[in-house]
Amino acid sequence: MESVSWTAERARAIADEIETVIVGKREAVEMVVIGLLSNGHLLIEDIPGVGKTMLARALAAALGAKYRRIQFTPDLLPADITGTSIFNQKTSEFAFRPGPIFTNVLLADEINRATPKTQSSLLEGMEEFQVTVDGATHVLERPFFVIATENPIEYRGTYPLPEAQLDRFLMRINLGYPTPDQEVVVLDRQVKEHPIHSVKPVAERDEVLQMQQNIRDVHIDPSLKQYMVDIVAATREHSSLVLGASPRASIGLMRTGQSRAALQGREYVLPDDVKALAAPVLCHRLIPKPEARIRPDEVASVVSEILDQMSVPAV
């Protein structure tokens, strides 16, 4: 399919351009591109200073897209995100003033520092690509891609994200520290100026919408769909979990599998695509039982266990 090969070419160009800023994190960069192609949203959980904000800025610059950043704080209000209606004394009418959510790439920085009510103000926009303020519905411009960052829950001054909010994120990833050699490259690139200022647009917004449509042409064998559903169903029955993944997770596995296949230039999804994406798609949706004595960040071992026990279809 020409559409898939074109999508692969454009998607790789976006990833390559982001890598001029984010050094040595190709897998994480590709996960961001997969999230974009899948028309989902991304949660990055990691310590401060490893490049989470720069990753979002580089993506927006590579797309030539509108970019807004919201610094989440305990005193942030929902209206600070969605916008508010202002009374115009001359016309005696209320005029809507859009908030920063009206953009293409939205960075919700340190989202777990705001109260759950403020966090939840993103829900409608993330799911339905619209916001409702004072009874009036306002449609968001497409593409609309949220990249939220959060510090580990153990840090002071943070609020755990509600389950409903977590389920709206297609994937959760982390960046981690660079290796010493990679960190030297980071220093070299910033001797004179930050490389973010040199990122060039390599795809237009209309092309992103076309790529999001093209990945739906990637073939998924019926046995592979059953494989995805069986993995998700196993999380609902696992003895260490009090809450398994929702059907939204099954859809996420399917869509990200198509995106990963397209990124690699394939017209069909393989079991390896599902295995590579299972942890990023599922882990943040799972809640361990208190008596299981496993930390939320160790849920990946449960997903790995399920994958090891699951029979892989011959596709």
For the chain, the domains span: 1-216, 218-315
As given in the structure block, the two tokens for residue 292 are 């299981």
Average pLDDT estimate for 283-309: 82
Q: Tens digits of per-residue pLDDT, 161-201?
A: 888 888 999 999 999 899 999 999 999 998 888 899 999 99
**Model pLDDT, residue 121:** 87
Is 154 a residue whose pLDDT tops 60? no
CATH (residue range 218-315): 1.10.8.80
pLDDT band for position 293 (cuts 50, 70, 90): low
Go through 174-194 and write b for each residue having 16 or more CB atoms within 10 A of its CB, e for each that does not.
bbeebeeeeeeeeeeeeeeee
Superfamily of segment(s) 1-216: P-loop containing nucleotide triphosphate hydrolases (3.40.50.300)
**Model pLDDT, residue 156:** 66
As given in the structure block, the two tokens for residue 253 are 């596995």
Q: What is the DSSP letter of 134?
A: T
Strands (DSSP E) contained in the chain are 42-45, 67-71, 83-88, 93-98, 105-109, 130-133, 136-139, 145-150, 171-173, 241-243, 287-288
Phi, then psi, of 85 in degrees rounded to 5: -95, 130
- Indicate the pTM of the whole model: 0.92
Tell me whether residue 85 is exposed, middle or buried, using C-beta atoms within 10 angstroms of its C-beta: 0 to 12, 13 to 18, 19 or more: middle
Q: Tens digits of per-residue pLDDT, 84-102?
A: 888 777 777 778 899 999 9
Average pLDDT estimate for 228-237: 96
**Model pLDDT, residue 54:** 93
Mean pLDDT (the chain, rounded): 91
